[in-house]
């Protein structure tokens, strides 16, 4: 009798929970179906390579990568849709007229790609919309003024000469075949350190930031791997995958480095302000200008 009462007592809540889950699943399925139909309708005027109904164009990346994409752009000279699974697609554009038409529209940014970058880069000018974007843009506007950027040309040229000097030494002792991606990454980091934070790190010469650069490169590769593998678009699936665990480890490496760089920039600016050396510098870095703009805006 007691067992029968328990079965009756729990049967109705379980039944309601099951019906609720089925209803949610059905609604999600309908939503995805309508999303696919809308994409098919919108992209129908643009021809594309044959795609699998489920995997989309994923095999193009797996088999040929950028070389295959180069062949596709020759065959489709203006634009083509690229399916990432059954419910998501990119629209690759490389025709100036197409780009001009789309970029002149006031449509908001798509959050699809940026949401995969948020755990590493956080929220900023790259991935914000609306009032927050305008607030960040207003802070950076003085630092991106043409006169301010002109003062950085000499700094960039010095960093480029440092990289070219490394290449001359390497090519003088080794084979002339040179993989430049790591060198260009260090060049970019060197310029950012100098122009944005006003820090002289010599990162192209010493190996202080090699660990950071490797983590950035690996993290970037994981982001694009996730983009082109639609099963990893779901946060929970990616989080519990081996690549998701590795991405979390890389984030723990990158965030302390970034915080250390920002704090070093703040300390350098505070020391110069205390010593009254700010006006004596040949140029002001972007971080300095942005902080000054933030103080000015907060005073209103």
For 218-245, write each residue's pLDDT tens digit.
Answer: 998 899 889 888 889 888 999 999 999 9
Number of domains in the chain: 3
In this structure, the answer to whether residues 147 and 81 fall within a common structural domain is no
- DSSP conformational letter for 279: G
- CATH, residue 120: 1.10.630.10
- DSSP conformational letter for 142: G
The secondary structure of 62-122 as a DSSP string is: HHTTHHHHHHHHHHSSSEEEEEBSSS-EEEEE--HHHHHHHHTS-PPPP-TTHHHHHHHH-
In this structure, the answer to whether residues 194 and 238 fall within a common structural domain is yes
Q: Of the candidates 28, 45, 62, which is a domain's last residue?
A: 45
In this structure, the answer to whether residues 115 and 187 fall within a common structural domain is yes
In this structure, the answer to whether residues 140 and 204 fall within a common structural domain is yes
| C-alpha to C-alpha distance for 89 and 105, rounded to whole angstroms | 19
Range of the domain at 35: 1-45
In this structure, the answer to whether residues 89 and 184 fall within a common structural domain is no
In this structure, the answer to whether residues 54 and 113 fall within a common structural domain is no
pLDDT band at 1 (very low <50, low <70, confident <90, very high): very low
Does residue 162 contact residue 204 with C-beta atoms inside 8 Å?
Answer: yes
In this structure, the answer to whether residues 123 and 31 fall within a common structural domain is no
- DSSP conformational letter for 87: S
The residue with greater pLDDT, 214 or 69, is 214
Alpha carbon of residue 194 to chain centroid: 22
pLDDT band at 175 (very low <50, low <70, confident <90, very high): low
In this structure, the answer to whether residues 287 and 139 fall within a common structural domain is yes
**Assessment of whether the complete model's pTM goes beyond 0.85:** no
Q: Of the candidates 30, 45, 60, which is a domain's last residue?
A: 45
Q: Which of 268, 259, 260 is nearest to 291 (CA)?
A: 268
pLDDT number for residue 108: 76
In this structure, the answer to whether residues 5 and 77 fall within a common structural domain is no
Question: Residue 91: beta bridge partners?
Answer: 81
Mean pLDDT of 114-124: 83
In this structure, the answer to whether residues 172 and 237 fall within a common structural domain is yes
Six-digit token string for 149? 């950027």
In this structure, the answer to whether residues 94 and 184 fall within a common structural domain is no
pLDDT band at 290 (very low <50, low <70, confident <90, very high): confident
In this structure, the answer to whether residues 24 and 75 fall within a common structural domain is no
| C-alpha to C-alpha distance for 185 and 189, rounded to whole angstroms | 6
For 41-86, write each residue's pLDDT tens digit.
Answer: 999 999 988 888 888 888 877 776 666 777 888 888 889 999 988 9
pLDDT number for residue 262: 80
Q: Of the candidates 81, 105, 129, which is a domain's last residue?
A: 105
């Amino acid at each position: 009798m007691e067992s029968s009462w328990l079965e009756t007592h729990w049967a109705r809540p379980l039944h309601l929970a099951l019906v609720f889950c089925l209803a949610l699943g059905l609604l999600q399925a309908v939503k995805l179906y309508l999303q696919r139909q809308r994409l098919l309708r919108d992209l129908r005027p643009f021809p594309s390579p044959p795609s699998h109904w489920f995997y989309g164009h994923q095999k193009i990346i797996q088999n040929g990568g950028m070389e295959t994409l180069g062949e596709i752009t020759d065959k489709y000279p203006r634009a083509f849709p690229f399916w990432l699974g059954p419910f998501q697609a990119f629209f690759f554009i490389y025709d100036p007229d197409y780009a001009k038409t789309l970029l002149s529209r006031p449509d908001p940014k798509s959050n699809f790609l940026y949401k995969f970058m948020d755990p590493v880069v956080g929220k900023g000018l790259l991935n914000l919309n609306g009032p927050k974007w305008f607030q960040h843009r207003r802070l950076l506007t003085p630092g991106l003024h043409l006169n301010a950027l002109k003062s950085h040309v000499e700094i960039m040229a010095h960093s480029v000469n440092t990289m070219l000097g490394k290449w001359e030494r390497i090519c003088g002792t080794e084979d002339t075949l040179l993989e430049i991606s790591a060198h260009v990454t260090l060049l970019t980091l060197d310029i950012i350190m100098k122009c944005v934070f006003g820090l002289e790190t010599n990162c192209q010469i010493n190996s202080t930031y090699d660990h950071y650069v490797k983590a950035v490169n690996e993290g970037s590769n994981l982001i694009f791997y996730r983009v082109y593998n639609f099963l990893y678009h779901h946060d929970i699936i990616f989080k519990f995958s081996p690549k998701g665990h590795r991405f979390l480890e890389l984030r723990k490496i990158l965030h302390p480095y970034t915080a250390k760089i920002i704090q070093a920039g703040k300390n350098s600016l505070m020391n110069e302000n205390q010593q009254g050396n700010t006006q004596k510098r040949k140029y002001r870095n972007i971080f300095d200008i942005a902080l000054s703009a933030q103080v000015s805006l907060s005073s209103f």
